[in-house]
């Protein structure tokens, strides 16, 4: 993608993300309409939908030949990542949005012919924008993020994992996960995949395991993590698929293989 065009896209995408964030903050004064999707804990609010519609309308009017891949159904049905594709999660961490009114993010990425160009993750309540133009550095607001540390071991790893996977389940060998949880320094789970990728990119967290993420959960996050020398794959090490849901390993390269090879055993 031509640099000038990419810079224009970046400027306008960033403005829309900040505008959408402000609308979400303003909505918190009013009562929320909350519905459920696949199960009683799978929440969606009118603000998830309104925010996605805000982006879809803007993109369709400014860039009618671009495509949209997004969570709440206002995007396009995509058969490939050909052309320019905006991959958007209007609110990542809806459960946090509903229960905590914080710890949620807008995740927006722009890919061209399958190559990531721009990634934006906006922590709406903290007013912190993580951003990357691939190859030009990753930033937290105006501060450039450093390359991930090279001297990390499993014993010093902070691992992001949902505690559900330490108990018996049908996806993964939980006894191995229990061993991993004991091996690492500590575990965390924040409930927003986008903010978890951002934490990996800024080096405050070292490895992230998830059993089910969609492209809009990880499209911006992988660009941030890659830019600082980290890695993201499916949990068995295979490359990500941007047209389906995925299992995820993301983190510091030093601990990727030890975790994937020794502690991950899919059923």
Binding site listing for Mg(2+): 71, 89, 91-92, 217
Q: Which residue is nearest to Ca ion (CB)?
A: 92
Q: Which residue is nearest to ligand 2AM (CB)?
A: 193
Q: Give me 152's structure tokens.
A: 């990390």
Least distance to ligand 2AM from the beta carbon of 48, Å? 7
Q: Cβ distance 134 to 117 under 8 Å? A: yes
Least distance to ligand 2AM from the beta carbon of 111, Å? 19
- Strand 84-92 to strand 67-70: parallel, antiparallel, or no bridges (unpaired)? parallel
Interface residue with Ca ion, options 89, 202, 206, 227 (CB under 5 A): 89
**What secondary structure does DSSP assign to 177-211, as a single string?**
HHHHHHHSSEEE--S-HHHHHHHHHTTS--EEEEE
Pick the closer one to ligand 2AM by CB: 78 or 211: 211
CA atoms within 13 A on the CB side of 136: 12
Kindly list the residues in this chain that would bind ligand 2AM in the complex (CB under 6 A).
38, 42, 71, 89, 92-94, 191-193, 212, 217
Q: Which region among 91-99, 121-129, 177-185, 256-264 touches Ca ion (by CB under 5 A)?
A: 91-99
Report what 38 binds from ligand 2AM, Ca ion, none; CB cut-off 5-8 Å by kind: ligand 2AM
Report what 192 binds from Ca ion, ligand 2AM, none; CB cut-off 5-8 Å by kind: ligand 2AM
Report what 47 binds from Ca ion, ligand 2AM, none; CB cut-off 5-8 Å by kind: none
Residue (of 58, 117, 107) closest to 87 by Cα position: 107
Least distance to Ca ion from the beta carbon of 94, Å? 5
Q: Tell me the CA distances in angstroms from 188 to 74, 157, 179, 242, 258, one per residue in order.
A: 32, 11, 16, 26, 19
Q: Is 196 in the site for Ca ion (CB under 5 A)?
A: no
Pick the closer one to Ca ion by CB: 82 or 126: 126
Q: Which region among 28-36, 51-59, 178-186, 214-222 touches Ca ion (by CB under 5 A)?
A: 214-222
Pick the closer one to ligand 2AM by CB: 94 or 157: 94
Say how far apart CA 220 and CA 197 lie, in whole Å: 9
SS3 of 248, please? strand
Residue (of 233, 231, 237) closest to 265 by Cα position: 237
Residues 59-88 that bind Ca ion (CB under 5 A): 71
SS3 of 72, please? coil
Q: Is 202 in the site for Ca ion (CB under 5 A)?
A: no
Residues that bind Ca ion (CB under 5 A): 71, 89, 91-92, 217
């Amino acid at each position: 993608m031509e640099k000038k065009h990419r810079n224009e896209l970046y400027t306008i995408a960033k403005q829309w993300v900040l505008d959408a964030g402000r609308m979400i903050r303003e909505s918190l004064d009013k009562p929320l309409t909350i519905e459920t999707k696949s199960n009683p804990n799978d929440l969606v609010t009118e603000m998830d939908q309104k925010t996605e519609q805000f982006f879809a309308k803007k993109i369709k009017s400014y860039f009618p030949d671009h495509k949209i891949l997004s969570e709440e159904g206002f995007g396009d049905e995509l058969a490939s990542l050909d052309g320019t594709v905006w991959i958007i999660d209007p609110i990542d961490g809806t459960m946090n949005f509903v229960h905590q009114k914080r710890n949620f993010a807008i995740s927006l990425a722009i890919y061209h012919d399958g190559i990531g160009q721009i990634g934006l993750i906006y922590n709406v309540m903290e007013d912190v924008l993580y951003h990357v133009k691939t190859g030009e550095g990753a930033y937290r607001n105006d501060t450039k993020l450093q390359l991930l540390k090279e001297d990390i071991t499993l014993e010093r790893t902070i691992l992001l994992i949902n505690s559900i996977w330490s108990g018996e389940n049908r996806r993964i060998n939980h006894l191995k996960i229990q061993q991993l949880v004991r091996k690492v320094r500590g575990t965390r789970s924040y409930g927003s995949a986008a903010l978890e990728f951002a934490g990996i990119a800024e080096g405050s967290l070292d490895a992230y395991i998830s059993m089910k993420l969609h492209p809009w959960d990880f499209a911006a996050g992988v660009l941030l993590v890659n830019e600082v020398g980290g890695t993201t794959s499916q949990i068995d090490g295979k490359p990500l698929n941007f047209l389906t849901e995925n299992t995820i390993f993301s983190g510091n390269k030093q601990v990727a293989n030890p975790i994937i090879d020794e502690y991950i055993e899919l059923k």
